[in-house]
Structure 1
Amino acid sequence: MTDQPERDCAAATPRIEVLLVGMNGDLRGKMIPLKAEDKVWKNAVRLPSSTQSLDIWGDDNDDITGISLTLGDPDGICVADPRSLTALPWGPSGSKQVLATMHRLDGQPHFICPRAILARVLERYTALGLTPVVATELEFYLIEADFRETGRSMPPKSLVMNGEVEGFQLYDMRATAALSEYLDTVRAYCDAMELPADATTAEFGPGQFEVNLLHRPDAMAAADDCIYLKRVIDFAARRHGLKATCMAKPYSDHAGSGLHVHASIIDHNGSNVLDSHGGDPARLKSVTAGMLQTMQDAQLVFAPFANSYRRFQPGSFAPDKIDWGFGHRGTAVRIPDSEGLASRIEHRVAGADANPYLLLAAILGGMLLGLEQDLDPGPVTAPGSAPDNPAMLTHDFLTAVDRFRASAFVRDIFGADYQRIYGDTKRKEAITHLRTVSSFDYQTYLPRV
């Protein structure tokens, strides 16, 4: 690595990047010279509202959404959230970045904006006098940056000996040492942005790592932290000639990447309402039941792409059953602690490819059901003991799409318009995937059938 990029940045014009989060967790926006920053805070930055409805290929799908050319592709207002203002450590000195919520021209938050969807869910907690406390754990892979030319993903060369990845595995400190320069850059970027990044560990797969973010008594800030962390791992990889990917399953024969969410709830006195106080954790179990009962309907949010469903495999740490357990890492919902301020749930279903804002809206929406009703999560899964015939998550993208599109829960949490647009856009993606004849078909069926 050379210091030429840093010298070039130092001589460049500082800027502020105004960022919008699309339905696929993609960041789009505008780059504005820092000397014109005032326009950001005067709500003078605009982009078409359809920016946040683009599918995975960047198509606005006006025939599905009806919010692009049908309406003349109208502008929305990018209302920057000052709490998310932070440094842009890979940009010219003094540069900044900020996350924005799309508003309509009448000043109201736009239904198409994932940040606005999460904000509406959080308003319901505020009305109850409650505050979710949230943290995320993000897994990702580092691969060689020539994947477009080679047509396959390969671990970083520093992990490879004689053509094989040798001696590196789960929690292996030699893996973190081999990628120490990259991980040091990730840490430096997080520090510059004041991201609450905590532990970093090597995970199961070659070149796979996890970064934990600390708990926040502000779920919007927790989602912001996660989307910024995804940006950090991407730009740090570019600096080192690598590619970072949050694709759920980049290798057939190695572990997928998850995005686990830890959540608790505090009241206006700062007390954890999920604390069992040494007795039966009835509230904690009811909240767990709310998440379990809505899990099939919301799976499209937890697994938003065709590749996402390759991660749900029996015998893996990616759950395929709708179950729960105390301290059990094989369950969909794990309860790490049921007493004291640390009483919380861990939602283990989502892949690293999930949109953090939609993900938290779905999880917190399910938890709301358990707060408002007395629900039973059913038999607990324990070592050597599991319920008979549990409900299952689907392994099929199109099935998840159909469940999402038909769900009353989804309509309540995400709104009918977003349910229609997100569901129909994903249905197009699922059908395109079904119609695509893959290399597996050619290698397996063509010579034998």
Structure 2
Amino acid sequence: MPTLTPMKTQLELFKEEAERFQKQHPDLEKIEVLYSGFCGPLRGKWLPASMLSKLTEGAVRLPLSTVALDVWGVDVSATGLAIERGDPDGILMPVPGTLKPVPWAKVPTAQVLVTLFELEEQTPHLLDPRYVLETAQAKLKDKGLTPVVATELEFYFIDMEPGSNGLPLPPIIPGTKHRLKASQIYDLDIMAQFEPILAEINRACKIQGIPADTTIAEFGHGQFEINLLHVPDALEAADHCLLFKRVIRHIARKHGMDVTFMAKPYAECTGSGFHVHTSLLDANGANVFTGETDEASPTLRHAVGGLLETMLDMQILFAPHANSYRRLQPASYAPTACCWGYDHRAAAVRVPATKGVGARLEHRVAGADANPYLVVAALLHGINHGLEHKCDPGTAITPQEDLAKYKHLSGNWETAITRWKDSAAAQQMTSSDFHRIYSISRSAEYDIFATTVTAFECQTYAKKV
């Protein structure tokens, strides 16, 4: 695949930004270099401030194999990326516009997002999730279309320590000795009690340029949703979401709590979703989804149709882990059928508005545990597929409609992995290398879960069979 943003251009842009930042923050001591792999936490390294110039020269390196580490941070030998080939380094390429202060750090600190580049070719690493999204967005830009993307992220505050059974505990309500244990949907009293931590999250977002907007208390005990404002750049929207999760985690820990983005941390409570709103602008800045009536325009219908047609093939990107499938169950406030509707939250794809600048679709399938770059890449690929093939989404669902007639999302992790492996659409979304290595990554994690004997199994069967 061709380089979308030449390395030299990217470094020149970042060098100007770094010089301005150092003048504004002369006391800077540390730089946290961050990037996203397939799954798990953000990875990277800490640099002394004196090494910022090396970053601007493309002289900071990290093994390319780390992008495909499993959720436990271990090399997946079947990928052949690590010691099997000498574990070569790649270049950590800074992303212009992402050098920001870290307000929770104990010493003056900055952070910057990076992408992985090949050392010899000086081109993007094909396995880097951010580059996967960049290529998906480029296909729409080649048509003169600019994606406008906004995200909504649900999460749970939890206790710093798990319960005696090893499972997460809801947090102690700030200012009290009482643990949350009831539904709190839209509860303003709960919001008020959590105001110190929520307010600090918003302040940190402002410092880091993350456009945090509405906050609501959700169904689960300790569950909240915070929305991020739309931006006319899918890469920037995914950057915001990734860094927003980091903000929430660090501020929660500062307040004596932790946070989980597991799709389903409690069996008895609702799961946490990652909802993505998308529209498209033409070369003149006009929303191509807008129509004249309350019915979806042909272009919007085609986009929805493409998402529905590719949804099962892309499900492993929306639900990448074992726990993801606990959320995708009937009557769980998560979509289970491949259908669409107007302002209908049981639909996998919801159309909240059909006219004016706000005409858009909302994809509701992904869990909060999914990689934002890969989710948005899958969405853009589906939309592009729908526009190219003029996909028909069928009739919008109605309230109380029986969803049995629709194709259903798989509730089985292995099925979703196999569907991705065998999918032509998945292979077309990105490079053959990414498709193959991501398949191996998901199968390897599945195999570990499939062969691990759990405490629940032993409690159930040890003295019964």
Taking structure 2 as the reference length, what is the TM-score of the superposition?
A: 0.90
C-alpha separation in 1, matches of 2:319 and 2:309? 17
Distance apart, 1:447 and its partner CA? 3.7
C-alpha separation in 1, matches of 2:217 and 2:296? 36
Q: Which residue of 98, 101, 105 maps to 1:84? A: 98
Distance apart, 1:446 and its partner CA? 3.3
Q: Which residue of 64, 77, 101 maps to 2:115? A: 101
Could you say if the C-alpha distance between residues 116 and 25 of structure 1 is closer, same or farther in structure 2, counting changes exceeding 3 Å? farther
In the alignment, residue 119 of structure 1 is paired with which amino acid?
A: E
C-alpha separation in 2, matches of 1:380 and 1:408? 27
Distance apart, 1:272 and its partner CA? 0.6
Counterpart check, 1:316 vs 2:332: yes
In the alignment, residue 431 of structure 2 is paired with which amino acid?
A: G
Could you say if the C-alpha distance between residues 160 and 107 of structure 1 is closer, same or farther in structure 2, counting changes exceeding 3 Å? same
Counterpart for residue 48 of structure 1: 63
Could you say if the C-alpha distance between residues 444 and 345 of structure 1 is closer, same or farther in structure 2, counting changes exceeding 3 Å? same
Structure 2: 5+ residue stretches without partners = 1-24
Identity between Structure 1 and Structure 2 (%): 44
In the alignment, residue 153 of structure 2 is paired with which amino acid?
A: L
Could you say if the C-alpha distance between residues 351 and 370 of structure 1 is closer, same or farther in structure 2, counting changes exceeding 3 Å? same
Q: Which residue of 34, 45, 50 maps to 1:30? A: 45
Could you say if the C-alpha distance between residues 150 and 187 of structure 1 is closer, same or farther in structure 2, counting changes exceeding 3 Å? farther
Could you say if the C-alpha distance between residues 167 and 444 of structure 1 is closer, same or farther in structure 2, counting changes exceeding 3 Å? closer
Could you say if the C-alpha distance between residues 208 and 74 of structure 1 is closer, same or farther in structure 2, counting changes exceeding 3 Å? same
Counterpart check, 1:249 vs 2:264: yes
Structure 2 counterpart SS, 1:155: coil
Counterpart for residue 172 of structure 1: 187
Counterpart check, 1:203 vs 2:218: yes
C-alpha separation in 2, matches of 1:161 and 1:256? 26
Distance apart, 1:152 and its partner CA? 1.9
Structure 2 counterpart SS, 1:357: helix
In the alignment, residue 42 of structure 2 is paired with which amino acid?
A: L
Structure 2 counterparts to residues 342-421 of structure 1, below 5 A:
342-386=358-402, 389-421=405-437
Counterpart check, 1:142 vs 2:157: yes
Counterpart for residue 345 of structure 2: 329
Could you say if the C-alpha distance between residues 159 and 150 of structure 1 is closer, same or farther in structure 2, counting changes exceeding 3 Å? farther
Could you say if the C-alpha distance between residues 13 and 384 of structure 1 is closer, same or farther in structure 2, counting changes exceeding 3 Å? closer
Counterpart for residue 448 of structure 1: 464
Distance apart, 1:369 and its partner CA? 0.8
Contact 2:175–2:193 (Cα < 8 Å) also in 1: no
Counterpart for residue 436 of structure 1: 452
Contact 2:325–2:412 (Cα < 8 Å) also in 1: yes
Structure 2 counterpart SS, 1:306: coil
Counterpart for residue 120 of structure 1: 135
Contact 2:170–2:181 (Cα < 8 Å) also in 1: no
Could you say if the C-alpha distance between residues 167 and 417 of structure 1 is closer, same or farther in structure 2, counting changes exceeding 3 Å? closer
1:326-383 per-position Cα deviation (integer Å, ceiling 9, x unaligned): 0000110000001111111100000000000001000110000111121111232111
Q: Which residue of 235, 247, 255 maps to 1:240? A: 255
Distance apart, 1:441 and its partner CA? 2.0
C-alpha separation in 2, matches of 1:264 and 1:36? 40
Contact 2:171–2:179 (Cα < 8 Å) also in 1: no
Structure 2 counterpart SS, 1:201: strand
Structure 1: 5+ residue stretches without partners = 1-9
1:204-246 per-position Cα deviation (integer Å, ceiling 9, x unaligned): 1000011100001011000000000000011001101111110
Q: Which residue of 14, 31, 41 maps to 1:16? A: 31
Counterpart check, 1:228 vs 2:246: no
Counterpart for residue 279 of structure 2: 264
C-alpha separation in 2, matches of 1:315 and 1:150? 26
Could you say if the C-alpha distance between residues 280 and 403 of structure 1 is closer, same or farther in structure 2, counting changes exceeding 3 Å? closer
Contact 2:40–2:72 (Cα < 8 Å) also in 1: no
C-alpha separation in 2, matches of 1:304 and 1:127? 29
Structure 2 counterpart SS, 1:147: coil
Taking structure 1 as the reference length, what is the TM-score of the superposition?
A: 0.93
Distance apart, 1:166 and its partner CA? 5.6
C-alpha separation in 1, matches of 2:93 and 2:144? 26
1:265-313 per-position Cα deviation (integer Å, ceiling 9, x unaligned): 0001011111122265211111101001111111100001000100011
Counterpart check, 1:275 vs 2:290: yes
Contact 1:142–1:242 (Cα < 8 Å) also in 2: yes
User: Stretches of 4+ moved more than 4 A in 1?
Assistant: 159-164
User: How big is the alpha-carbon RMSD for the aligned residues of Structure 1 and Structure 2?
Assistant: 1.9
Counterpart check, 1:72 vs 2:86: yes
C-alpha separation in 1, matches of 2:448 and 2:125? 28
